[in-house]
Chains A and B, each alone.
Chain A
Amino acid sequence: MVKLSDALRGAADRAPLDGVSVSTHAAARRVSVNRGMRGAATGIVGVTAIGVIAFGIIGPNGFSSSSDAEFATDAAAEVAPSQPDLPAVAGDAGAGAAGSQLAWGVCGQATDPDAARGETGVAIHVGSLPAAEPGALLPVSVTGTALTTENLYTTDPGALILWNGIVVGSLPQEAILTFGPADEQIVNPDVEPIKESLTEGDTFGYDLDVPLQNCWDSKDLPAGNYELLVTQEYFEFADSGTANGEEPTLDDGASAVPGQTPNIVGGFRAAADAAAFTISGTPIDDPFGEYLLVPAQPIEPPIDSTP
């Protein structure tokens, strides 16, 4: 009588793998791209969810189909793995989002700080920033003011580092929402959401340390002038006790249970005004030229005169 465990391990040892090898070079390049995209990917997922949810639930148009959010997020989430084994090229990252505003905040993309904002229940503000040394952590104090009275869930703010309006660095906000094994939207079990029980006029604060590294390969950002755009996403959950067809309630009992499908009734992204800061040293010419490759000019298709 054999042991299945031994049989399996024997099968692994005898696997016909001649000529099969793993390219660490190719893997490392994909990892570099993904690490650069990580902020963007997290941002895309979070921004997609919040964007669609915020505009869908509390936005002016008032649509509220979660399937749209799932579809958009699914599509966006599959952008990153499909990136080619090349340095992230400006334009690559957002392309998968079909040029929609869901691609906001992508590494290497020009970003309009105003586009970060939705209809918010919180105003956040970043004070003046000190000059920083290359490779240092930039200390940032974020203050917030509640514009509404609500129980909201969030995580520490995220930040984008902009150079001439282009995203060159990021500190992603941990995403409260993610997707479960059946592609259902769940509360991210890997994060601990912060519950903010806000009353209009309340003030609160967060301290961030933003790494001054680029979002492609995590190298130190070179000397120069930059802007920091701090954003923070908030979600409002309702009790999920609607099994009897009851309307969800928004009392204090509404909670975000890790790993469970949340009953999302609202959400928004707060964004501070972009704050200027300087990395000390001698600026170099074209500091991001090797990353911000200019795409090849499109080839015009031949004109076909036949109808």
Chain B
Amino acid sequence: MTDWRDTMNELVRNRERALLGYAYVVCGDPTQAQDLVQDALVRTFSKPRPGLTAAKAEGYVRRAITSVYIDGYRRSQRWQRVQHLFKPAETTRDEFGQVEAGSDVAEALATLPPRVRACVVLRYFDDLTVPAIASTLGIAAGTVKRYLSDGLSQLELALGTFEDASLRNAAPSPAADAAAPRSSEGQ
């Protein structure tokens, strides 16, 4: 058995639930979370990375989960641009949904558009800085700030004011920067 297989098995054996939970927060659907983790593992381990440990691999896989999720969204957007040529257009869910006060955070997240949700998760789950999020998702830092602001406003409608909401405009944290693995996934 090759090293990368050992690393992958160790990672999944020890961190499967955490990775699936993270993917669920990103996408809001258990089945899609399963696919995201699977695709993220494939994406991470398809590139030879000498010396990659399971701990380091987890960082890559987490970044790949958001990348795969956004890539899938982009592909669906490309399809949506031409699907009217093949069938009547369906309503695209790229608008903020309705949120009822007191709803669960998962339900509230589900009302956010994919890119906004990804930004919120990367900022508040992974503690990434705005520049790191921009790099990971391949969008401008200003766009990230706007998504975070919009997303937080929407979430606060449902869940109330967040104690850490002031972080939306916080300066980048050196610790978070250091912790953020450099995204080298194909985007």
Using a CB–CB cutoff of 8 Å, the interface residues on chain A facing chain B are 1-5, 7-17, 20-24, 26-28, 30-31, 34-35, 38, 77, 178-183, 190, 217-218
Contacts and interface: CB of A to CB of B under 8 A. Distances in A.
12 contacts: A2-B160, A4-B152, A5-B127, A11-B24, A11-B106, A12-B24, A13-B21, A15-B20, A17-B21, A22-B19, A23-B38, A217-B2
B21 A4 contact: no
Contacts of A38: 46-48
A16 B104 CA distance: 13
Given A4-B124, A34-B42, A24 B8 contact: yes
Contact of A12 (B25, B31, B104, B163): B25
B160 A1 contact: yes
A156 B169 CA distance: 43
Interface string B8-42: 11001000111111101100001101100110011
B147 interface: no
Contacts of A31: 4, 8, 41-42, 45-46
A178 B47 CA distance: 15
A7 B41 contact: no
B184 interface: yes
A24 B163 contact: no
Contacts of A35: 46, 48
Contacts of A23: 38
Interface in B152-187: 152, 155, 159-165, 184, 186-187
A183 B138 CA distance: 10
Nearest to A218: B2
* Across the A-B interface, the 10 shortest Cβ-Cβ residue pairs: A181-B138, A12-B21, A34-B46, A15-B24, A4-B162, A7-B105, A27-B41, A8-B125, A5-B124, A15-B21
A265 B24 CA distance: 45
Contacts of B109: 8, 11
B139 interface: yes
Most A-side CB within 10 Å, residue of B21, B22, B37, B163: B21
Contacts of B125: 5, 8-9, 12
Given A24-B12, A31-B4, A5 B17 contact: no
Given A15-B33, A28-B8, A30-B42, A22 B16 contact: yes
A22 B152 CA distance: 31
A86 to B, nearest CB: 14
B38 A27 contact: yes
A258 B68 CA distance: 23
A38 B42 CA distance: 12
A7 B161 CA distance: 12
B138 A2 contact: no
B87 interface: no
Contacts of B22: 12
Q: Which of A10, A21, A24, A178 has the most CB of B within 10 A?
A: A24
Given A5-B124, A35-B48, A21 B21 contact: no
Contacts of A180: 138, 187
B27 to A, nearest CB: 10
Contacts of B47: 38
B17 A2 contact: no
Interface string B85-114: 000000000000000000011100100000
Contacts of B54: none
Given A12-B22, A15-B33, A181 B139 contact: yes
A21 B15 CA distance: 11
B144 interface: no
Contacts of A8: 25, 105, 109, 120-121, 124-125
